[in-house]
A and B are shown apart, each in its own frame.
Chain A
Amino acid sequence: MTGQQTFTVLSVEELTKDYPGVRAVDQVSFVIENSTIHCLVGENGAGKSTLVKMLTGALEPTSGSMSVNGKAYAPTSPQEAREGGLATLFQELHVVDELTVLENLTLGMEKSRFGFLIKSDLEDRMIKTLAAIEPSIDPTARVSSLSVAQKQIIEIARAASSGANIIIMDEPTAALSEREVERLFGVIRRLRESNVTVIYISHKLDEIFELGDNVTVLRDGKHIATKPLSEVNGRAELIEMMIGRTVFQNYTPRAGIGDKVVLQAQGVTNKLLKNVSFDIKEGEIVGFYGLVGAGKTEIARALFGADPFEGSVTYKGKPVGTTPKEAIASGIALVPEERRTQGLFTELTIRENVPVMNLPRVSKSGIFKARDVRDASLRYVDQLGIATSSIEKHAEKLSGGNQQKVVFAKCLFSKADLLLLDEPTRGVDVGAKTEIYDIIKELADEGDAIAVFSSELEEVLGICDRVFLMFDGHLQEEITNGPDVDIAHILNVVTGGHEGDVI
Chain B
Amino acid sequence: MMSITQQTNASELTFGAKVSGFFQNYYIYFVLVAVVAILASANLDQFDLFERGNFLNKRNIINILRISAPLLVLAGTFTLLMVSGYIDLSVGSVMGLSAVVYALLAINGVPFLPAFVLTMIIGAGLGAINGLLVVRLNITPVIATLITLSLFKGAALLLVQDGVSAIKSGNGLKMPSWFNSYGREGVLLNLPASFWVAAAVTILLIIIQNRGTLGKYAAATGGNPTAAKLSGINTGRTVFTLYVIVGVSAALAGIARSSFMSLGDPLSGDGMELTAILVVLLGGTAFSGGEGKVLRSFVGALIIMALTVGMLTIVPAYYQAFVIGSALLLAAASNHFISQKGKAS
B211 surroundings in chain A (CB, below 8 A): 116-117
| Cβ contact of B213, chosen from A110, A137, A141, cutoff 8 A | A110
Q: How far is the CA of A218 from the CA of B279 in the complex (A)?
A: 58
Interface string of A93-122 (1 = CB under 8 A from B): 011111100010001111010011100000
Q: A95-B224, A99-B216, A116-B207 are in contact. Are A141 and B231 (CB under 8 A)?
A: no
Contacts of A109 in B (CB 8 A): 231-232
The residues in A between 329 and 387 inclusive whose CB is less than 8 angstroms from any CB of B are none
Assess A98 versus B290: contact at CB under 8 Å? Given A79-B232, A107-B220, A110-B213.
yes
Q: Which residues of B contact A94 (CB under 8 A)?
A: 224, 226-227, 230-231
- Asked if A246 is at the interface (CB within 8 A of a chain B CB), the reply is no
B230's nearest neighbour on chain A, judged by CB, is A94
* Complex: chain B residue closest to A175, CB-CB: B2
B213 and A116 contact, CB distance less than 8 A? yes
Contact bitstring B38-64, A, C-beta under 8 A = 1, else 0: 000000000000000000000000000
Does B176 belong to the interface (CB within 8 Å)? no
Distance to closest chain A CB from B217 (angstroms): 8
Docked complex Cα distance between A98 and B339 (Å): 13
Given A145-B9, A145-B10, the answer on whether A110 and B290 have CB atoms closer than 8 Å is no
B214 within 8 A of A: yes
How many whole Å from A86's CB to the nearest CB in chain B? Answer: 14
Asked whether, in the complex, the Cβ of B223 is within 8 Å of the Cβ of A98, the reply is yes
Q: Give the residues in chain B near A142, CB-CB below 8 Å.
A: 10
Q: Are B222 and A98 neighbours in the complex by a CB distance under 8 Å?
A: yes
- With both beta carbons as reference points, the residue of chain A lying nearest to B7 in the complex is identified as A147
**B261 is an interface residue with CB less than 8 A from chain A:** no
Closest to A97 in B: B223
Bound Cα distance A136, B222 (Å): 28
Do B9 and A99 touch (CB < 8 A)? Answer: no
The residues of B that contact A107 with a CB separation of less than 8 Å are 216, 220, 227-228, 231, 233
What is the distance, in angstroms, from A186's C-beta to the closest C-beta of chain B? 15
Give chain A's interface secondary structure class: loop
Point out which of B2, B211, B227 has the most chain A C-beta atoms below 10 A from its C-beta.
B227
Query: 8 Å CB contacts to A: which residues of B242-275?
Result: none
B10 contact set on A, CB distance < 8 A: 138, 140-142, 145-146
Contact pick for B220, options A78, A99, A141, A147, CB 8 Å: A99
Contact of A96 among B7, B9, B224 (CB under 8 A): B224
Q: Give the number of chain B interface residues (Cβ < 8 Å).
A: 29
**Complexed CA–CA distance, A107 and B233 (Å):** 8
Residues of A within 8 A of B214 (CB): 115
* Cα separation A179 to B9 with both chains bound (whole Å): 15
Question: Shortest distance in angstroms between A331's beta carbon and chain B's nearest beta carbon?
Answer: 34
Which of A79, A145, A146, A180 is close to B2, meaning CB atoms less than 8 Å apart? Answer: A180
Q: How far is the CB of A468 from chain B (nearest CB, A)?
A: 21
A110 CA to B1 CA in the complex, in Å?
Answer: 37
Whether A96 pairs with B13 at a CB distance below 8 angstroms is no
Residue in A98, A150, A177 with the greatest tally of chain B CB atoms within 10 Å = A98
Which chain A residue lies CB-closest to B1? A177
Asked whether, in the complex, the Cβ of A98 is within 8 Å of the Cβ of B219, the reply is: yes
A115 engages B212 (CB within 8 Å): yes
- What are the residues of chain B within 8 A of A116 when measuring CB–CB? 207-208, 211-213
Q: Which residues of A contact B230 (CB under 8 A)?
A: 78-79, 94
Closest CB in chain A relative to B169 CB, distance in Å:
42
Q: Is B6 an interface residue (CB 8 A)?
A: yes
Q: In A132-182, which residues have CB < 8 Å from any B CB?
A: 136-138, 140-142, 145-150, 177-180
> Who on chain B is nearest to A79 by CB?
B232
Q: Is the pair A96, B228 in contact by a Cβ cutoff of 8 Å?
A: yes
Does residue B138 face the partner (Cβ distance < 8 Å to A)? no
- B280 vs chain A, min Cβ distance (A): 15
Whether A96 and B213, one on each chain, are in contact in the complex, defined by CB atoms closer than 8 angstroms, is no
Q: Check if A115 sits within 8 Å of B213, measured CB to CB.
A: yes
CA distance A97 to B83 in the complex (A): 13
Q: Which residues of chain B have C-beta atoms less than 8 A from A112's C-beta?
A: 212-213
- Given A98-B219, A103-B216, the answer on whether A115 and B9 have CB atoms closer than 8 Å is no
Q: What chain A residues lie within 8 Å of B216 (beta carbons)?
A: 99, 103, 107, 110, 117
A96→B2 contact, CB < 8 A: no
Contacts of A79 in B (CB 8 A): 230, 232
Q: B residues 1-49 with Cβ under 8 Å of A?
A: 1-2, 6-7, 9-11, 13
Can you name the residue of chain A whose Cβ is closest to the Cβ of B13? A145
How far in angstroms is the closest Cβ of chain A from B4? 10
Measured between C-beta atoms, what is the minimum distance from A175 to chain B in Å? 10
Chain A contacts for B291, CB-based, 8 A: 98
**Residue pair B290, A97 in contact (C-beta under 8 Å):** yes
Instruction: Please give me the residue from chain B that is nearest to A113 by CB atom.
Output: B213
In the assembled complex, which residues on chain A have CB atoms less than 8 Å from the CB atom of B220?
Answer: 96, 99, 107
Chain B residues within an 8 Å CB radius of A96 = 219-220, 223-224, 227-228, 290
Chain A nearest CB from B124 CB (Å) reads 16
Contact flags B167-185 to A (C-beta < 8 A → 1, else 0): 0000000000000000000
In chain A, residues 418-432, which have Cβ atoms closer than 8 Å to a Cβ of chain B?
none
B2 touches A177 (CB 8 A): yes
Which 6 A-B residue pairs are closest in the complex by CB-CB distance? A108-B231, A141-B10, A98-B290, A94-B227, A96-B223, A98-B223
* 8 sampled A-B residue pairs with Cβ under 8 A: A95-B224, A98-B219, A108-B228, A108-B233, A115-B212, A116-B211, A149-B7, A180-B2
Known: A108-B233, A138-B11. 8 other contacts (CB 8 A): A96-B219, A97-B223, A107-B216, A107-B220, A109-B232, A136-B9, A142-B10, A148-B6
